[in-house]
Structure 1
Amino acid sequence: MKKHILKAVNILIILVILYLTFTFLAKIFHSLSWEEVKSAVLLIDSKMITLVAILTALNYFIVTFYDLITVKQIKLKIPYKKVFLYSLTSFILNNNLGFGAIMGGALRFRYLTKIGMSPILITNYMILFSWIYWLGLIALSFVVFLFIEPGYSLSLPFIHFTIQAKLLGLVALIIVLIFFILSFLKQKKIISGAILYPIAKPKILLLQFTISTLDWLLLGLIFYFLLPNHSIGFFKYLPIYLVSQITAVSSHVPGGTGVFDGIMIFYLKNYYEVNALVGSLFIFRLVYFLIPLAFGILLFFFNEFYLSKNNYRIISIEK
């Protein structure tokens, strides 16, 4: 009964977030001059777009280490080439088409089943993988929100953002500390029968935090470099980016479409013209999502061919 209530509350919160953001965006788009948006897009420096394209490629390369670390943690011997293929395909398609981790999870389940993993082992794999995805966001939130400058605030209704941010940073710090304490306390063996201990050894945990933090930080840089004239400093921009990402990820909308955009426009319109922001968001969606999607679809068919033509089995599981 409690699970059903929590699920209903979660769905209600998501619907409220979607309603508020899309209502806000509807008002924004109604007053937009599309000619000015087009001009804003054309004014974005081509060198910046090239830099963003390079950072996007680097970001997609880094996220494949989520799967590689998980493979190492569970002590599976799978060549990196195979891990890279199914990881990159899953990430790209999930970013564009998946709700939450549904698309990426389904693709990983298919590939991991093909290489001979049992359902229990795949479940363990997905739990460990999910942890890594959130670790960087937690770590980055700790650093940014806990050490945010005292005078910095965002106009949230009824509550001063600095107070809320520092509380969020404190919670993130506590979570990080709990992870590392458990990492030192837990026994080193990761799998015992069907039981999984999700906290990695300290060295692996540190690597998980590093890779995930780099992922979230790079994504923040990608959009920041598309902003015109950088009227806002990067460290002043970071809290806005994190609030937008946390809300977008929580909404389970593919790529945070609409949610991320709406919150970024809401806060950054104090620093930039809305037309310029929409232009930057358009290029961001094109370079980070749509162009990789075309590549991801090709990768998907290549993977299907590769799976059918090759012996795609696990070599062994270390004891």
Structure 2
Amino acid sequence: MTHEENLKTPEDTPSSKVDDGQKSKTRRWLGYAIGVAVFALALYLLYRALSRYDWPELVAAVTAVSGAHMLAALGFAALSYLTLTGFDWLALRYVNRPLAYRKVALASFTSLSIGHSLGLAALSSGAIRYRYYSRWGLARADIAKLIVFCGVTVGLGLAILGGAALLVAPEIAINALGLSPAVARLIALVTLACPVVYLLMAAFATGAIKIRGHRLEMPKLRLAVAQCVIGPVNFAFVAAALHQTVLSVAEISYFPIVAAYVSANVATIVSHVPGGLGVIEAVLTYLLPGEGLIGAILVFRFVYFLIPLCIGLVVLGSSELFFARVRPSRVNRDQSA
């Protein structure tokens, strides 16, 4: 046996290379199966969303919204998805695994454009995030922390924007829920106090915090501040997109729409209904009765859910094909080395 043969490690043997190739092929086919399952479920939900309406209703709802309001709604929706990439960008710094922005944007848009319609965001968008970030070297623990960080950013955004809207436009809670002005104000202040407590914990907490047996590592203060800025900005853009479609059928100011949408969003998260189908309509028409908002909400669904869903499916399929071509070539190079 030569000196070079003695230096070979078990990983260098032909059998280990075959095993690596077999594992790579298994992971690739598993990825195909996951991609097909997500694609099929998304198409079903798309059909389910559209089948609730007759074709004349769809045409009438879309044509009732002026071109200017439609373009504005599309612009605000695009700004929301652009802002959402900041959630992942901050989360990657939280886990000390920063990536190039183009990768962050790809993973964020694909996972959220599909996850918003699939529901159960922690599972649907989380699974798609895992597909991307695991390819780029993140461990499972890091991806789990990233998903939790993004979820906290969502909660902070809802709390800050919802509390502010409740202070500015308390008539939603007063009229629809029968609350007194004092109680509505108290709820707003308690809601706004939650982000303040979060910032104080980020500033002064040392080490991890245990919540029901789970360890939560607080982010650095600058990341927590960034969360408290970018979270409400995202929902402000979403509410602005909805407001633009509503303006075509009713003269309602912005903050009542914000308060109603935040309430509808919370109901959607609690119910886990895919895309909030029926939930958003029910909550908004209850909080803003007599305004004939169904057509405007339907157009909002097109703008914020269905159009991004279609784009996200195309991007997911294209990226899966790209990674499927790249990985075998890398495996072949490794085996021939």
TM-score (norm 2): 0.72
CA distance in structure 1 between the aligned counterparts of 2:250 and 2:64, rounded to whole angstroms: 14
Contact 1:183 1:199 in 2 (8 A): yes
1:278 aligns with 2:294: yes
Q: What's the counterpart of residue 61 of structure 1? A: 82
Q: How does 1:171-250 map to 2 (within 5 A)?
A: 171-187=190-206, 197-227=216-246, 228=248, 230-250=250-270
Q: What's the counterpart of residue 100 of structure 2? A: 79
Structure showing greater relative contact order (alpha-carbon pairs closer than 8 Å, 6 or more residues apart): 1
CA distance in structure 2 between the aligned counterparts of 1:64 and 1:147, rounded to whole angstroms: 29
Q: What's the counterpart of residue 129 of structure 2? A: 108
Q: What's the counterpart of residue 11 of structure 1? A: none
Contact 1:85 1:303 in 2 (8 A): no
Contact 2:208 2:218 in 1 (8 A): no
Contact 2:61 2:298 in 1 (8 A): no
CA distance in structure 2 between the aligned counterparts of 1:70 and 1:108, rounded to whole angstroms: 12
Q: What's the counterpart of residue 158 of structure 2? A: 137
Q: What's the counterpart of residue 294 of structure 1? A: 310
Distance verdict in 2 for CA 1:263–1:149, change over 3 Å: closer
TM-score (norm 1): 0.76
CA distance in structure 1 between the aligned counterparts of 2:92 and 2:79, rounded to whole angstroms: 21
Contact 2:92 2:98 in 1 (8 A): yes
CA distance in structure 2 between the aligned counterparts of 1:162 and 1:222, rounded to whole angstroms: 28
The alignment-based identity, stated in percent, is 24
Q: Which residue identity lines up with residue 47 of structure 1 in the other structure?
A: A
Deviation (angstroms), 1:122? 2.2
Unpaired runs of 5+ residues, structure 1, are 1-28, 312-319
Contact 1:148 1:162 in 2 (8 A): no
Contact 2:167 2:188 in 1 (8 A): yes
Q: How does 1:114-153 map to 2 (within 5 A)?
A: 114-149=135-170, 153=174
Q: How many residue pairs are counted as aligned between the two chains? A: 271
Contact 1:105 1:126 in 2 (8 A): yes
Distance verdict in 2 for CA 1:309–1:260, change over 3 Å: same
Contact 2:242 2:300 in 1 (8 A): yes
Deviation (angstroms), 1:132? 1.2
CA distance in structure 1 between the aligned counterparts of 2:99 and 2:255, rounded to whole angstroms: 39
CA distance in structure 1 between the aligned counterparts of 2:58 and 2:114, rounded to whole angstroms: 28
- Partner of 1:77, secondary structure, is coil
